[in-house]
Amino acid sequence: MKFKLTDKIKKIIARDSKVIMTTTRGDIAFVASHGAGDFVYDVSGNKFIDFSSFIGVYNLGVNSTKSAREAAKKQIDLLMHAAFTDYYAELPVEFAENLLLMFPNGFGKVFFSNSGTEANEAAIKYSKLFTKRQYSLAFYNSFHGRTMGSLSLTSSKLAQREHFGPFNSVVHVPYAYCYRCPFGKEYPSCGMACVDYIKKYPLAREVSGKEVAAIFVEPVQGEGGYVVPPKEFIQGIREIADDNGFLLVSDEVQAGYMRTGKFLALDNFGVQADIYTMAKAVGGGLPIGLTITRNSLGDAPEGAHSNTYGGNLVAVAAANELIKYVKKNRKRLEQQTRRKGKYIIDRLNQMKERYEIIGDVRGLGLMIGIEFVKDKKSKTPAPQERDEVIVESFNDGLLMLPCGPSTLRIIPPLTIEQKNIEDGLEILETAIKKVNGQR
């Protein structure tokens, strides 16, 4: 179905630009109305297949499951807010109990907040509190949020940091971005030079490992460009953390909650973190952030960290239904996510053979990126071509989002039907073919 840009859409966008502070929107004139399953509709009845899951929020389908919606509606009439950090309520406790069943043994404490950035703020504070150390390590290209603590870790774009310093004490190190290896090497003959670098330089010259509280890692870099590291990279980081007695924090805000074919994205690498952070898909459309810590780290003293809305009953009512669904359907969701992800990656790799502007295809489960380049040899990033592909696809009824300098992310709901995958890929290939031909 061809997108129709109506007066209604134009008017809402014009009103928006007068009163809403500019954020991160691109050129997509999508004005939301309603949706379910694999589809969303705008205010003029234009219909789209969702390959965005609204940035990893609708992992279980657009507008989430019926049971989550019904639980939230019921809770609205009972009591919306219980000041859960000051009084008690059973629902957040039940949700935490259900959530922890999805975690490895030994994870027993949950802190509730309302977003990914807050989940990471809590992780920064807990890592400092539990280790009594001051510094953090984080990766170039990373995204952990935009409030001052998490922004200190974030380094995927200069615009995100410019004018906002000085920051917390964070030392940044290169991520294993193998398509553009910062050391000019190739995997696996590189011998994991990026892991060695951390030991040889930052930890030998800039900051003592004894003063580092934690290293923060996205198991798959999200906003930085959907970068999937080799297993040895994450394993190497775990070893460095252990050797120096600091904590490993896995930021699962985008990669977690089954997105990569495992509930915890870090499980793909055969290691465990000490603290996990989650948000986005957890509330399936209602704001919720989670910071989950190992029992052995202990508990926080009263007053060290808290908030107003953490454990909000409406958000938790939905999240509890979703986690019960995920737990019950765990095997099926894992298998389907991996199978659909492999299918899409195979199809994209075939497209890569056909079109010069596709430089790299990579992904884990249904967290898939296509990196666009001017040509395969020079690998010069092609943000304009990437954006044109998004707009062309949108005009043909497919909703997607960019990430990193020139990557297109494909993150449909995990529950997407095969037919809609096929239709979406056909629209995408038509767009790529057109943009490729226009060069």
Ligand X SMILES: Cc1ncc(COP(=O)(O)O)c(C=O)c1O
Asked if 138 interacts with ligand X (CB under 6 A), we say no
- Contacting range for ligand X; rule: CB under 6 A; set: 122-130, 143-151, 348-356, 422-430: 143-151
**Is there binding between residue 219 and ligand X (CB under 6 A)?**
no
Of all residues in the shown chain, the one whose CB is closest to ligand X is: 116
> Both tokens of residue 328?
């019950």
Structural tokens at position 56: 């990893």
What's the Cα-to-Cα distance from 24 to each of 97, 394, 398, rounded to whole Å?
Answer: 36, 18, 20
Q: Which helix (H) or strand (E) holds 401?
A: strand 401-403
Q: Using the rule CB under 6 A, which residue among 35, 92, 116, 225 binds ligand X?
A: 116
Segment interacting with ligand X (CB under 6 A) among 141-149, 178-186, 187-195, 394-402: 141-149
Any bridge partners for residue 402, and if so which? Answer: 408
Helices 418-437 and 383-395 pack at an angle, to 10 degrees, of 130
Instruction: Identify which of residues 261 and 289 has a Cβ nearer to ligand X in the complex.
Output: 289
Give me the residue label for tokens 């400092």. Answer: 128
Assign 65 to helix, strand or coil. coil
Residue among 424, 421, 326, 410 nearest 366 (CA): 410
| Residue 435 C-beta: closest distance to ligand X, Å | 26
Please identify which residue in 128, 133, 144, 238 interacts with ligand X, judged by CB under 6 A: 144
Nearest to 2 by CA among 47, 39, 69: 47
Q: Is 115 in the site for ligand X (CB under 6 A)?
A: yes
Among 222, 236, 283, 285, binds ligand X (CB under 6 A): 222
Of 358 and 411, nearer to ligand X (C-beta) is 411
**Contact flag: residue 141 with ligand X (CB under 6 A):** no
- 188 cis-preceded (ω within 30 degrees of 0): yes
- 173, containing H or E segment: strand 170-173
Contact between residue 163 and residue 180 where contact means Cβ atoms under 8 Å apart: no
Q: Does 117 bind ligand X (CB under 6 A)?
A: yes
- In the structure, how many helices (H) and strands (E) does the chain have? 13, 15
Q: What is the DSSP letter of 366?
A: T
> Given the rule CB under 6 A, which of 92-100, 123-131, 182-190, 217-225 is the region that contacts ligand X?
217-225
- By CB under 6 A, which span of 42-50, 204-212, 215-223, 323-331 interacts with ligand X? 215-223
229 touching ligand X, by CB under 6 A: no
Q: Dig out the tokens for 322 from the structure.
A: 């979703």
Count Cα neighbours of 368 within 13 Å in the Cβ-side half-sphere. 28
Query: Is residue 369 a contact point for ligand X (CB under 6 A)?
Result: no
Residue ranges with strand state E in 187-342: 212-217, 247-251, 275-278, 289-294
Please, what is the minimum distance in Å from the beta carbon of residue 390 to ligand X?
Answer: 17
121 binds ligand X (CB under 6 A): no
Question: Considering beta carbons, is residue 145 or 310 the nearer one to ligand X?
Answer: 145
**What's the closest the beta carbon of residue 418 comes to ligand X, in angstroms?**
27
Q: Taking the complex as a whole, how short is the minimal distance between the CB of residue 277 and ligand X, in angstroms?
A: 7
Q: Which of 42, 50, 121, 218 binds ligand X (CB under 6 A)?
A: 218
For ligand X, the closer CB: 255 or 432: 255
Which position has the token pair 């406790």?
93
| Smallest distance from ligand X to CB 396, Å | 26
Buried b (16+ CB within 10 A) or exposed e, 139-174: bebbbbbbeebbbbbbbbeeeeeeeeeeebebbbbb
Binding of ligand X at residue 136 (CB under 6 A)? no
Nearer to ligand X, 56 or 381 (CB): 56
The tokens describing 425, both together, are: 């890929």
Position among 48, 58, 143, 276 found at the interface with ligand X (CB under 6 A): 143
By the rule CB under 6 A, 223 interacts with ligand X: yes
Residue 251 interacting with ligand X (CB under 6 A): yes
**Residue 279 or 348: which CB sits closer to ligand X?**
279
Give the three-state DSSP class for 103. coil
Binding mask 275-304 for ligand X (x = CB under 6 A): ----x-------------------------
Task: Give which of 163, 113, 173, 95 is closest to 309, Cα–Cα.
Answer: 113
**Residues near ligand X (CB under 6 A):** 115-117, 120, 143-145, 218, 222-223, 251, 253-254, 279
